[in-house]
Amino acid sequence: MSIPTNDALGNLDDRFQKLVALKKSKPTKVQPLATLPHWPAGMRGTPNACLRSALFAGVQGNERIAYKKRTLLAAVEGIEVRYLGVQLNQSDLDVWMQIVHLSRTQLPGFSVTFSAHALLMALGRSTGKSQHEWLKESMARLGGAFVEITFQGRDTFGEKGFLRYHRDEVTHRYVVEVTESMLRLFEDGYTYIEFEQRRKLRKHPLALWLQGFMSSHAAPYPLKINTIHRLSGSSATTLRDFKYRLRKALEALVDCGSLESFEIGEDTVKVKKHPTASQQRYLQGNSG
């Protein structure tokens, strides 16, 4: 049997002392979010992590899948998104964006109240019984999902649900609180989304995903078609099918004014768009 040397014993003692100190140290306190950013009435502020990943997929409602274990979703470099629950899509994002929009003048942690009728109207939907049931389903998905997002391998925000809510079944009014961790996503970058464009694109889920993704870039760079397929969470099983969907989605974006033009190559997509005023200032500042 070998006998530990003094050096080995010293190293073990150092490691033990470090573990003791780590155990005694207090965890870093996360400062509460002071306020939400403000944006114009026709815009919806949205964290880039929601726009540059498959968290809110560009799929139809009947194409949803259920993630039965904590699953790593596709996202751009620097962001890791893990998800557990029924897949969210762009319609769910519209609901969450509208609720955040209503909450933007309030301090985080305070609830916002609205009627189901008013929210459906704001989303450009009809207000019949089926749409009320659709809203209930979307609220349940947003409230029940487990989301974990890591930025640059540095900070991870995890939360059970994007929101918590109470619904009065007589008046159909909601009292909703947007969860703190999901609001914190704004701290790592966000984008103004033209909401009227989204109302026009409501029946085109891939176009909605592309609108958000393209809006989050001042000057969108050429993208591989396979990359768009992966990041959008598309359910298309063949590249031919996806290219057909992609062309239709890009045409819808041109029609609604979100894009000026696009070009689809063999495996790459190039787009041209009008940058917003803030994006123009950003581009001018980086060109000098």
What are 39-48's pLDDT values in tens digits?
Answer: 888 999 999 9
The pLDDT tens digits of the residues spanning 83-138 come to 999 999 999 999 999 999 998 877 666 799 999 999 999 999 999 999 999 999 99
Give the span between the Cα atoms of 115 and 98, in whole angstroms: 12
Give the span between the Cα atoms of 148 and 81, in whole angstroms: 6
Nearest to 166 by CA among 111, 101, 91, 86: 111
Q: 39 with 45: CB under 8 angstroms?
A: yes
The predicted structure's pLDDT at residue 218: 82
The predicted structure's pLDDT at residue 184: 85
Predicted TM-score (pTM) of this structure: 0.84
Across 48-154, the runs of DSSP E, i.e. the strands, are: 56-57, 66-73, 79-86, 88-89, 112-115, 146-151
The first and second tokens of residue 175, run together, are: 């009292």
For residue 89, the cross-strand partners are: 57
The predicted structure's pLDDT at residue 177: 93
> Which parts of the chain have pLDDT scores under 70?
1-35, 107-109, 275-288
Nearest to 201 by CA among 91, 68, 76: 91
Q: How many CA atoms lie within 13 A of 241 on its CB side?
A: 5
Torsion of CA 144, 150, 151, 155, to 10 degrees: 110
